[in-house]
Amino acid sequence: MLYLDNAATSFPKPESVYQALDKFARTSLANPGRAGHAMAVAAERTIDDARHTLNQFFRGESPDRWIFTLNCTDALNMAIKGTVNPGDHVITSDLEHNSVSRPLCALEKAGTITLTRIASHGGYLDPEDVRKALTPKTKLVALTHASNVLGTVQPIDAIGTIVREAGALFLVDAAQSVGVVPIDLKASSIDFLAFPGHKALYGPTGTGVLYVGRRTKLRAWREGGTGGDSSSETQPTQYPYFLEGGTPNVLGIAGLAAGLAWVNAQGPDNLRRHEVALLAKVVEWVESTEGWSVAGKWDPDTHVGALSLIVPEPLTPQELGGILDSSFGIAIRPGLHCSPYIHKRLGTFPDGTLRLSPSPFTTVADIDAFIGALAEITAGVI
């Protein structure tokens, strides 16, 4: 199988992640913080160490502001629904994944918030459009760092400055940028940073993270056991426990920590450059082949390792994805990629595009095989 669907979840994981998962599952898989015995303490230490590593890697305010979640969707819902109040205004964009768009749309339909969805241009947001959309009632600006459909990286530093000046909160969905685009929380104006552990941080599925800056004021997300002071009738207000009721996915977090260590050793920018160089080969082929085109602007300097291709008629992305899978053993993602608004803007709704997303483990020979398969399928059809 040639796996080119790393924007959905990464495969394979680095060897060190498999080893960490195996070791942790065999030696330390107790319930962290729930008892004083050695295994529970070892499990708790793994989680604490992971929070410290995250805080160092992204230069956050302190380790206790890092909340472990089920996935990126969970983190985004926690930030959005925990923050807004009736009458608030929220700004978002047409690049968003449904994990941002749907909670906001539900809040808008319920009459809780008013919503402005700014338009991207060739896959990029203009910070000035954010400035124009701000109102005195704007509580939250929720934007993706990199489009999961187009791979385009957004100017979040410039946008963050504008949002901070206006006194609103800035939520960044880093699902497609984490691990490949450096994020420095001290140098930027990000209040919430949400990301999955299972994409370019190479943890297993079932892992996600929400960073919560100190300017925020959240409602508890779920209430329950935290292992600490059980005599209290209500959720402890102390972070991270305030947002982490129930047994955490400590095995997943052990894998995520190993993945983060691997990314740190490789250097995010090196990983991004490898993936973008592979995509550049595909872009070259597309530009020299009739009928095909790349969705959005292609700028290798502001791109992560996801690329959407507009397929030539009469083929559909779904047909092509099916043939690539069944006849060539190539795993790729056709369709809307949970991001309908950008497809409407691009004119690729409802069939969508064919998205490929290589990883650090993808080789030039793999990309040649992918291009060869596309050429073979389309020969004689278009």
Residues that bind ligand PLP (CB under 6 A): 8, 71-73, 97, 99, 144, 148, 173, 175-176, 196, 208
Q: How far is the CB of 97 from ligand PLP (least distance, A)?
A: 4
By beta-carbon proximity to ligand PLP, the closer residue of 151 and 227 is 151
By beta-carbon proximity to ligand PLP, the closer residue of 33 and 151 is 151
* Pairing mode, strands 66-69 and 333-335: unpaired
Cα dihedral sign for 153, 285, 334, 327? negative
Instruction: Tell me how far apart the alpha carbons of residues 127 and 163 are, in angstroms, rounded to a whole number.
Output: 9
Q: How far is the CB of 256 from ligand PLP (least distance, A)?
A: 12
Q: How far is the CB of 102 from ligand PLP (least distance, A)?
A: 11
Contact 272, 200 (CB under 8 A): no
Q: How far is the CB of 362 from ligand PLP (least distance, A)?
A: 18
By beta-carbon proximity to ligand PLP, the closer residue of 94 and 173 is 173
Q: How far is the CB of 135 from ligand PLP (least distance, A)?
A: 26
- Residues in CB range of 287: below 8 A, 6 or more apart: 294
By beta-carbon proximity to ligand PLP, the closer residue of 220 and 338 is 338
Chain Cα centroid distance, residue 69: 13
Q: How far is the CB of 174 from ligand PLP (least distance, A)?
A: 8
Q: In what order do the strands lie in the sheet with 88-93?
A: 66-69, 208-212, 192-196, 169-173, 138-144, 88-93, 113-118
**Per-residue tokens: 93:** 């964009």
By beta-carbon proximity to ligand PLP, the closer residue of 9 and 235 is 9
Q: How far is the CB of 302 from ligand PLP (least distance, A)?
A: 16
By beta-carbon proximity to ligand PLP, the closer residue of 28 and 353 is 353
**What's the burial of 16, exposed, middle or buried (CB within 10 Å: 0-12/13-18/19+)?**
middle
Q: 112: how many CB neighbours lie within 10 A of its CB?
A: 17
3-state secondary structure of 208: strand
By beta-carbon proximity to ligand PLP, the closer residue of 20 and 149 is 149
By beta-carbon proximity to ligand PLP, the closer residue of 10 and 73 is 73
**268: cis peptide before it, omega within 30°?**
no
Q: 270: how many CB neighbours lie within 10 A of its CB?
A: 12
Instruction: Tell me how far apart the alpha carbons of residues 204 and 296 are, in angstroms, rounded to a whole number.
Output: 30
Q: How far is the CB of 207 from ligand PLP (least distance, A)?
A: 8
